[in-house]
A and B are shown apart, each in its own frame.
Chain A
Amino acid sequence: MSEKEVKNLEEIFEARIARDEKIEPKDWMPEKYRQTHIRQMSQHAHSEIVGMLPEGNWITRAPSLRRKAALLAKVQDEAGHGLYLYSACETLGISRDELYEQLHSGKAKYSSIFNYPTVTWADMGAVGWLVDGAAIINQVPLCNTSFGPYARAMVRVCKEESFHQRQGFEIMLTLCRGSEEQKAMAQDALNRWWWPSLMMLGPTDAESIHTEQSMKWKLKRKSNDELRQQFIDQTVPQADLLGLTIPDPDLKFNKETGSYDFGEINWDEFWQVVKGHGPCNKERMSARVNAWNNGEWVRDAAMAHAEKNEKRKVAKAS
Chain B
Amino acid sequence: MKKNWPLWEIFVRSKNGLEHRHFGSLHAADAEMAMENARDVYTRRNEGVSIWVVESKNITASNPADNGEMFEPAQDKVYRHPTFYDLPDEVKHM
Residues of B near A28 (CB, < 8 A) are 64-65
Q: Does B5 contact A (CB under 8 A)?
A: yes
Residues of B near A306 (CB, < 8 A) are 29-30, 33
Q: Does B2 contact A (CB under 8 A)?
A: yes
B64 with A83: CB separation less than 8 A: no
What's the A-B contact tally at a CB cutoff of 8 Å? Answer: 49
Give the contact-size bracket for chain B: 20 to 34
Interface on B for A, CB 8 Å cutoff? 2-5, 7, 24-27, 29-30, 33, 40-41, 44-45, 61, 63-65
Q: How many residues of A contact B (CB 8 A)?
A: 27
A300 with B7: CB separation less than 8 A: no
Looking at the complex, which one of B4, B64, B65 makes contact with A24 (CB distance below 8 Å)? B64
Q: Does A107 contact B (CB under 8 A)?
A: no
Residues of B near A160 (CB, < 8 A) are 45
Residues of B near A302 (CB, < 8 A) are 5, 29-30, 33
Given contacts A24-B64, A83-B41, A310-B30, 8 further A-B contacts (CB under 8 A): A83-B26, A87-B25, A96-B27, A302-B33, A305-B29, A305-B30, A306-B30, A309-B30
Closest to A96 in B: B27
Q: Once the chains are docked, how many angstroms separate the CA of A152 from the CA of B21?
A: 13
Q: Does A268 contact B (CB under 8 A)?
A: no
A303 with B3: CB separation less than 8 A: yes
Q: Whole-angstrom distance from the CB of A213 to the nearest CB of chain B? A: 23
